[in-house]
Amino acid sequence: MARPTEFAAGKVLTGRKRWVALMFLALGVAMIILDATVVNVAIPTMVKDLGLTTADAEWVTAAYSLTFASLLILFGRVADRSGRKLIFMLGIVVFVGASVLVAASDDPMTLIAARALQGIGGAMILPSSLSVINAVFVGRDRAVAFAVWGGTIGGMAALGPLVGGWLTTYASWHWAFLINVPIGILVLVGVLMTVPETKERGGPKGMDALGTVLVTMGLFGIVFALIEGNRYGWVVPTAEFQVGSWTWPSDSVSIVLFSALAGVLAIVALLVLEGRRGRAGKVVVLNLGLFKIRTFGAGNVVALVVSLGEFGLLFALPLFLQATRGYDALETGVILLALAVGSFAASGMGAPLSQRFGPVRVLQLGMALEAVGILGLGIMLSTTITGWQMAPWLFVYGMGVGFATAQLTGVILAEVPVVESGQASAVQSTARQVGAAIGTAIIGTTLIIGLGNVASQLEDRGVPAEQAQQVSDAVATSAGQAIPALAALPNGEVLVEGASAGFATAIKGVAFVAGAFVLLGLATTFFLPRNAARVESEGYAPPG
């Protein structure tokens, strides 16, 4: 496929400068991925300091996820049209400014609004960073750059709990966000000095305003439903939904069902609209023609499916370790560091293996390793397991994430024209985010159902049925975090033992479900062309 004239204009990076530029781009991505996970271990302290309710605490995470996932395609398109470097740098400014607002927040509404603003900045950074790489790297350099980008995401997702635990323990939760200020300034200066500007040349002018509204509304509605389904009820309301002084008015239809239906209808309307605009030669926010490219269409299906299980276990493992094994936030982060080490190790090996065996085979190797690591953990998990016993399985799992993330990105974007790289990278990022949202919802439901086993574990140990059910409900509602407090009750040792055994059984179920999703994703990779992206790794063919 011919490359646009940008390459002829000297926008391809060469020499040492290309790796310096990649370092700053990866550091910007690392900042937003780190912040998405660091908050998980900071929230308990934030709850105490700011007097957050359980609902407030959930929205601290949900506000970021919703704005981030729903705006990726929009900002990917804006980056293509307005300049990828420009949008990346604006995203850094927005994200850092929002981080300062989060750290300075002294009430729940300000905190939640600042987290939503962080999501907007993240949605500007992620697709523009990947489209810059796709535009200014070619041949073997591009394969290496994708490996670094993918390894950064996998590694930072695992490092987040460690960094968050350390900062929260030895400084304060404020520094979990203020740390973004020096990082952001460094990234801005580095990108300004080393990264060239690239943008879409030619093509239809104008803006697809209706398409922009539909894609944002559609993704927001669907992701909101997936995140909040368990909390507010999938069909009938199970809890009151309130924003400020406004309360969801219906007692028979959940806001989750309304949101999901509205989101699906918006996406359907988007597909119809974009098809018509594309045939008329007008500008579109989502180029449906990209899905005719086999590597792009099939690759996004793989990204969606594998994301269902790829990070699901990371949602549940910290809960298990802190509730049943007595580890604190920092110790939990240290245990999960094994995953980050595996991910970084695989990132360095991915490019040469891809040269020899092809990206699809390395992708399949990575997903197979993920499945081995997850299922191995599922078999080994018990109330007596130690961090050292978990580390080898987490390392294998991390290697799988490192191999798979980088290679899948390269495969998806291999045949996409550079002028569409911002939109294409945003679509693949959105597929991952939506898959992760669905996966987290399924994993959360699996965990809650599994924790229902606590009652039978307690009854087997002689606890009266009524008390066993009360304890089981408390454990399920708190995602296991009520277990340590059971020790203070009469017969507390037996209650803790039974509840911990029930949690261990539940976490095994979570691991097996997550592993099944990864195996399903592995199966879908066989629909990809075997030599997908091999041309990219072997060298660059000039236009024409």
- Tell me the pLDDT tens digit for each residue of 473-505: 888 777 677 788 888 888 888 888 888 888 888
Q: Is the pLDDT of residue 164 over 90?
A: no
Task: Compute how many other C-beta atoms are within 10 angstroms of the C-beta atom of residue 210.
Answer: 14
Q: Is the pLDDT of residue 422 over 90?
A: no
Q: Is residue 429 included in any domain, yes or no?
A: yes
- Between 298 and 88, the more confident residue is 88
Q: What's the total number of domains in the chain?
A: 2
Task: Compute how many other C-beta atoms are within 10 angstroms of the C-beta atom of residue 312.
Answer: 29
Q: Is the pLDDT of residue 113 over 70?
A: yes
pLDDT band at 236 (very low <50, low <70, confident <90, very high): very high
Q: Is the pLDDT of residue 2 over 50?
A: no
Shared domain for 382 and 356, answered yes or no, is yes
Q: Give pLDDT tens digits for 20-32.
A: 888 899 889 888 8
In this structure, what token pair is assigned to residue 156? 């930072």
Q: Is the pLDDT of residue 459 over 60?
A: yes
Q: Is the pLDDT of residue 100 over 90?
A: yes
Q: Is residue 9 included in any domain, yes or no?
A: no
Who contacts 78 (Cβ-Cβ below 8 Å, separation ≥6)?
87, 422
Q: Measured between alpha carbons, how far is 95 from 88 in angstroms, rounded to an integer?
A: 10
Residue range 69-95: average pLDDT?
A: 88
Q: Give pLDDT tens digits for 508-518.
A: 988 998 899 88
Q: Is residue 5 included in any domain, yes or no?
A: no
Residue range 176-188: average pLDDT?
A: 92
As a whole number, the mean pLDDT across the chain is 81
- Between 200 and 515, the more confident residue is 515
Decide which of 282, 313, 336 is a domain's last residue: 282
Q: Is the pLDDT of residue 362 over 60?
A: yes
Q: Is residue 176 included in any domain, yes or no?
A: yes
Shared domain for 269 and 162, answered yes or no, is no
Least confident of 190-194, 419-423, 430-434: 419-423
Q: Is residue 291 included in any domain, yes or no?
A: yes
Q: Measured between alpha carbons, how far is 202 from 420 in angstroms, rounded to an integer?
A: 12
Q: Is residue 482 included in any domain, yes or no?
A: no
- How does DSSP classify residue 373? H
Residue range 444-452: average pLDDT?
A: 77
Give the per-residue pLDDT at 257.
Answer: 94
Q: Is residue 478 included in any domain, yes or no?
A: no
Shared domain for 123 and 147, answered yes or no, is yes
Q: Is the pLDDT of residue 7 over 50?
A: no
Give the distance, in angstroms, between the CA of residue 501 and the centroid of all CA atoms in the same chain: 30
Give the per-residue pLDDT at 15.
Answer: 64
In this structure, what token pair is assigned to residue 132? 């810059």
Q: Is the pLDDT of residue 393 over 90?
A: yes
Q: Is the pLDDT of residue 537 over 60?
A: no
Decide which of 234, 252, 282 is a domain's last residue: 282
Nearest to 6 by CA among 202, 146, 201, 204: 201
Range of the domain at 91: 15-207+283-453+506-538
Q: Is the pLDDT of residue 297 over 80?
A: yes
Q: Report the Cα–Cα distance between both ends of the chain, in Å, rounded.
A: 8
One DSSP character per residue, 206-229 reads S--HHHHHHHHHHHHHHHHHHHHH
User: What is the 3-state secondary structure of 33-97?
Assistant: HHHHHHHHHHHHHHHHHHCCCHHHHHHHHHHHHHHHHHHHHHHHHHHHHHCHHHHHHHHHHHHHH
Q: Are 454 and 503 in contact (CB under 8 A)?
A: yes
Shared domain for 19 and 83, answered yes or no, is yes
Shared domain for 265 and 330, answered yes or no, is no
Which residue is associated with the tokens 């066989």? Answer: 526
Q: What is the CATH number of the domain that holds 185?
A: 1.20.1250.20
- Between 209 and 155, the more confident residue is 209
Shared domain for 345 and 422, answered yes or no, is yes
pTM: 0.75
User: What region, left, alpha or beta, does residue 128 occupy, with left being phi > 0 and alpha being psi -120 to 50 degrees?
Assistant: alpha
Shared domain for 445 and 513, answered yes or no, is yes
- Residue 263 exposure: Cα atoms within 13 Å on the Cβ side: 19
Q: Is the pLDDT of residue 44 over 70?
A: no
CB-based burial label for 50 (10 Å; 0-12, 13-18, 19+): middle
User: What is the 3-state secondary structure of 306-371?
Assistant: HHHHHCHHHHHHHHHHHHHCCCCHHHHHHHHHHHHHHHHHHHHHHHHHHHHHCHHHHHHHHHHHHH
Give the per-residue pLDDT at 14.
Answer: 62
In this structure, what token pair is assigned to residue 172? 């304060």
Shared domain for 396 and 313, answered yes or no, is yes
Amino acid at 19: W
Shared domain for 232 and 344, answered yes or no, is no
Q: Are 422 and 10 in contact (CB under 8 A)?
A: no
Q: Are 50 and 107 in contact (CB under 8 A)?
A: yes
Q: Is residue 465 included in any domain, yes or no?
A: no
Give the per-residue pLDDT at 204.
Answer: 57
Shared domain for 240 and 298, answered yes or no, is no
Phi, psi of 327 (to 5 degrees): -75, 145
Most confidently predicted of 147-156, 195-204, 256-265, 473-482: 256-265
Give the per-residue pLDDT at 403.
Answer: 85
Residue range 195-208: average pLDDT?
A: 72
Give the per-residue pLDDT at 1.
Answer: 36
Shared domain for 250 and 170, answered yes or no, is no
Shared domain for 287 and 277, answered yes or no, is no
Most confidently predicted of 120-124, 146-150, 461-465: 120-124
